[in-house]
Structure 1
């Protein structure tokens, strides 16, 4: 319905414009003007264009002037123009013979075809341009409407991924710890609040990342364990045993283990269970990184650890590593006094290191030919 109204509106404007030119010509010749007769004459003359406009629109959208189909599109539009111009010349010549003292003949049809070919080409090109302009505007509006929805969906995905890393207990207990720290003074509350905001910032930047640089991952480990000490009020020891050669390696983010820590903490009784030490260890042996996160304490809920791990992304990452390297070892060692999570995989440098290695290799190869 809307398309039909647009077509009728467009050709109404064209008819009025051509009728105005015809009336001016009639005035210059000194002839009598019959406004409605001129309008009707122009409608009959232009009727092939009005009838075939939907076909032209279909051809414009079906045979676009794109690189991969440019020749077929040119050929199709050439045939279309030849047919339309011929029909228009035939109808217009016959209409002229009915309104004016002009013989309807093959010679007149040929003269009409050649005499108005430039105007017809411009009119055909104008319709194509109008269709492409409207389609572009429609597509642009659709993109504008779609962009906020895509952004909202991305933000929702990030939010859900962040929620998967932030256990409700961790969030609520940390907020409670911030409130309690106000009693200890402004400095204590500011410290835990800063650590919490820094940890959230790291979580947001690492959302949807399977791997991070180990040196950066240590920052998340330090922030989380520092907050944990303040929350539990226990004098636990935090250790980092990282071989220097591992600092720039790509490793699974420590953040994916936060749900495990939170569930362990949620299941312990402060009077019976004590966490004495949390350690983060990494060493490079024979081209493989041995990564370990360990918890040492008293009466740890070790039987539940495998179940806790099922609620994290670590198993998916292990599967990806297994498919990529075929040399991945993942295991846990649990007991009342110690829980360790171990992951061994081939050394994978960061992207910057890979570029430096590639440049070094190029330099070395180049020197061989000097």
Structure 2
């Protein structure tokens, strides 16, 4: 079975395949066109010799055209026209020799225009060969330019995603280190030590995950649990987290640490503001071909404008929307709304995807 992708990627192999196939096709069409004229074996020999001559004579054109393609427009046009005419004239001479010496056994026509007609036909064939050569070459150049543009776009896209992911680390570190600093100031060294230990585990987990690749939801939950252990050192029983994760969603792919900024936001603006603490609900369920993720709190709430929280200097939540847009284009939804009876709810809808390895299992 022919691997067409490898054939088109290898220019040398593609040229010889098309070059040989084209001249074989010429011989077949020429024979079919003259089938009613002559079916003798010697006529097949003449056609084969003509096709072989055309195959050999047009090979130098490839290297001439390759050089001409690097020249200015007028020089290229002159080179192409002159070389095509020279090859066509030489091929016409060889075809005349094959026809009059082999097929007609030395007979010569009285009318000179029969030679001229053969030259015109040869020139038409060489011009067609040249047109196909430049057409395929230009198509390959356009494809290469598209591939280079796509590669550059992909690299820029990946760099943007990495920037968005790593932008969360300073934001998270600032909040956590500030809490550790406070614990040290009040000489609660035991609690500070516990936070440093859990922070180390969380950062190790975070750095091990490629920001470009999506991860199963179960791994995202593990990361959130590590993060929540850090926060529970600060809030103890004041922080209550309830998980409602559908079994069939555990293997669904999600962007790494996509929920952590939402939970961090809920802790900072809801749980920390409540004297007796509060609750955070994390929900994951499938709906058709989509994965639905929700994070809600029962805090005092906040003002929402144009679907966004009205808070200055926020990094986490706008960052999430940018990441989702980069990964899923328009095939996602990100909604911030008021929770009932109180608090804020962030809802995310993304395509339900699983890894190929899970599909094979």
User: Could you tell me the TM-score, scaled by structure 2's length?
Assistant: 0.45
User: Could you tell me the TM-score, scaled by structure 1's length?
Assistant: 0.44
Structure with the largest fraction of helix: 1
Larger Rg: 1
